[in-house]
A and B are shown apart, each in its own frame.
Chain A
């Protein structure tokens, strides 16, 4: 069990952090160190949250985008930044749908949980995409399929991309966490 952290926006390194950090981070609480000390209790650090659970099928992609567009509109997220979030989330959900479930596993689901976090006087989105299977990027590109841009797109669009691949337990799936670049607070 390992977490792969990929820095976006041209940063060159990636790192794997020990598994024992996963539990605390996966609870998706307010970011440690965000905001002035003692200024905000945990509840007010989360301005909005949105959670959705869908079957891991192709039709899910459009439904996720429709729901996310509506939420981003409600949050008055800037158009250009909203498109980047849509593109990144769409790729993560695509990966979950495409890779997570072996053929013949009918009951797979994808869960998407999004929340707004304050960061340095601005705000950003933390979106967690969790599936119930193993997300395994294909090690070798299939000839002429040229479908290898999902992860590079996510890292180009987001400030940070974290991939937590689960262990062997049946429902210990893969979680992709996307941290958007920050945008001005309303």
Chain B
């Protein structure tokens, strides 16, 4: 019966934020596609937020697509980064489209917090790129 075992771990053993979360930016015409891979938490979320911020600040970019299908973990800090980015995009009247497919580590936290009613979610990048700017209007 394994009982009372205490693992003591020091911070030195922890990987850096760059290893835990990778973000690639790719221009596709007037769209910027951010491919995100790894784990989004309170430690790494600033990297996601900064990358989305760069895309939103780019005057040549009309649509930002954030592909989260290769994200293995997304927590409250990650959700907050997405909501903050979504609001910033709204203020610029520039859509922020988030690709989640059926990736449960991402879909689950979005659903239990009700944010599927706030964020613009897509199954794949092609679908996110295909929808014209200002759809529904």
Contacts and interface: CB of A to CB of B under 8 A. Distances in A.
B126 interface: no
Contact of B42 (A47, A52, A61, A87): A61
A122 interface: no
Given A54-B9, A86-B73, A149-B79, A156 B42 contact: no
A72 to B, nearest CB: 13
Given A80-B104, A150-B76, A53 B7 contact: yes
Contact of A91 (B1, B20, B43, B76): B76
Given A49-B3, A90-B75, A147-B80, A157 B112 contact: yes
B11 A60 contact: yes
Contacts of A97: 42
Q: What is the interface of chain A mostly: helix, strand, loop, or mixed?
A: helix
A183 to B, nearest CB: 16
A49 B2 contact: yes
Contact of A84 (B1, B20, B108): B108
Interface in A62-104: 62-63, 65, 67, 80, 83-84, 86-87, 90-91, 94, 97-98
Given A50-B2, A62-B41, 10 more contacts: A46-B1, A46-B3, A47-B1, A54-B9, A83-B108, A87-B109, A90-B75, A94-B41, A146-B80, A152-B113
